[in-house]
Amino acid sequence: MSRAPRYGACAPIAAALAALAGALAVALGGCDAPPGARASINQPGASQPRLIHENGQPDVLELPRSGVAGLTWTAIENVSLPGLLETTGQITFDDRRVASIISRVAGRIEQVRVSQWDYVRRGEPIVTLYSPDYMTAEAEYLQAKETARTIAAGGPDNRQFGQSMVDAATRKLELLGMEPAQIAALRNPTPSLTIRSPLSGVVVQNQAVRGAAVNPGDVLYSVGTLDEVWITADIYEDELARVAVGQQLQATTTAYPNDVFHGVIARISPNVDPATHTVQIRCAVENPGLKLKPQMLAVVRIVVRPGSALVVPLDALVFETDAYFAYVDVGNNRVVRRKVAIAAWSREGYARVLAGLHSGDRVATGQSLQINALWHEAHGENS
């Protein structure tokens, strides 16, 4: 009986301990924690980025409310371009001034008269071919002339028929590559024919080897003239409105730094290179002294009206795999990620924007790599 008061006195303490254990179980969550308690803990808070998905819209990253230390914002602006457009290009032959000399018969090369890089004049003998096809066609031509003389006394109809035979035989010789002067001087059939250069220029390709067999269509030589050359250069697509066909230009080379070559824009490509956002222009340039050579590099300067260009700080760009990205402020502590196409710019620490950003956009600088890490972290949490 004396112990009963002691048990009665400890009962309130045991009850209090039991109540405290239950409260701790609820607070800690466990498997029996109310759903609302768990949601409030996992909800992104001050230290967690949050990715926002909206149908048909780019993903938006909500930055931590506590901010990103060292993060600054820079506005994308247009900068002035001078009234002189400068680009580099490569010199090539004007393809309208290049001729390919081909074999029109089956046979072999009997004599080679010129070599690669030789300068030849129009009408100069360059190669002699041996082919029985020549002898056959020449014999037919001489026979047609003889027949025409024989039947000429038979009246107008006979003369007309005879002349048609001569014309057909003459045309066949022309198709085999004989020139009118060679046909007129023909007295006896021969299997050899000397081919002459169709224009004055430089032998830029030589496939003729003495004794080699040839077939109809085989290219023996290519001859090009350098009196006027082409310079093919690239300009950015946002400069396309500043140039036009017929516009005057000047070109210089490292080989002849004191010589200025003059020309005009002859062609503008209808295509834009999607990788570089550039357009090719083809410049027809005069070449006194034949100093400009194919494959030589040249600097092209074109006087144009003033323009403008977008530039972005390099520390706003993040490179991944094969592209550059920037993070653009959209307000309310949120950013979007954009792919940016860039090009070189004369000012150190900046790049020229070709696509992806617009004037007035505010991009993250200073901590763009940290924003990029948060972007991937948020995607990982929401994947």
d(CA 311, CA 342): 9
The token duo for 379 is: 């995607």
Q: Of 5-19, 190-204, 316-330, 352-366, which gets the smallest average pLDDT?
A: 5-19
Check residue 38 and give its pLDDT: 31
Q: Tokens 């400069």 sit at which residue?
A: 239
Q: Of 34-43, 105-114, 239-248, which gets the smallest average pLDDT?
A: 34-43
Q: Tokens 């085989």 sit at which residue?
A: 218
| Residue 48 amino acid letter | Q
d(CA 55, CA 278): 34
Q: Could you tell me the end-to-end alpha-carbon distance of the chain, in angstroms, rounded to an integer?
A: 68
Check residue 328 and give its pLDDT: 95
Check residue 34 and give its pLDDT: 40
d(CA 292, CA 93): 10
pTM over 0.95: no
14 band by pLDDT with thresholds 50, 70 and 90? very low
Check residue 5 and give its pLDDT: 37
Mean per-residue pLDDT, 238-255: 92
Please report how the helices 156-175 and 132-151 are oriented relative to each other, as an axis angle in degrees rounded to 10: 170
Report the percent of the chain where pLDDT is more than 70.
Answer: 87
Check residue 45 and give its pLDDT: 44
Specify the DSSP class assigned to residue 321: T
Question: Per-residue pLDDT tens for 214-223?
Answer: 999 999 999 9
d(CA 315, CA 344): 14
Alpha helices in the chain (DSSP H): 4-28, 35-42, 132-151, 156-175, 180-184, 368-381
The token duo for 294 is: 């194919």
The token duo for 106 is: 């089956």
Report the percent of the chain where pLDDT is more than 90.
Answer: 56
Check residue 308 and give its pLDDT: 83
The three state secondary structure string of 147-180 is HHHHHHHHCHHHHHHHHHHHHHHHHHHHHCCCCH
Mean per-residue pLDDT, 153-162: 86
Pairing of strands 350-355, 307-313: antiparallel
More confident residue, 306 or 137: 137
Residues in the chain: 383
Check residue 241 and give its pLDDT: 85
The token duo for 100 is: 């390919």
Give ∠ CA 300-304-306 in degrees, rounded to 5: 125
Q: Of 42-46, 167-171, 189-193, 352-356, which gets the smallest average pLDDT?
A: 42-46
Q: How many alpha carbons lie under 13 Å from residue 232 in its C-beta half-sphere?
A: 11
Longest dimension (CA), the chain: 169
pLDDT at 22 over 80: no
Give ∠ CA 251-255-260 in degrees, rounded to 5: 30
Question: Per-residue pLDDT tens for 288-331?
Answer: 998 999 999 999 999 888 888 899 999 999 999 889 999 999 98
338 band by pLDDT with thresholds 50, 70 and 90? very high
2 band by pLDDT with thresholds 50, 70 and 90? very low
d(CA 225, CA 131): 30
Check residue 64 and give its pLDDT: 85
Contact 361, 372 (CB under 8 A): no
Whole-number average pLDDT of the chain: 84
d(CA 311, CA 77): 7
Hey, what domains does the chain have and what are their CATH numbers? Answer: 50-81+309-381 (2.40.420.20), 84-94+226-305 (2.40.30.170), 101-221 (2.40.50.100)
- Assign 144 to helix, strand or coil: helix
Give ∠ CA 174-188-221 in degrees, rounded to 5: 40
Question: Per-residue pLDDT tens for 23-68?
Answer: 434 344 444 444 433 332 234 444 678 888 887 788 999 888 777 8
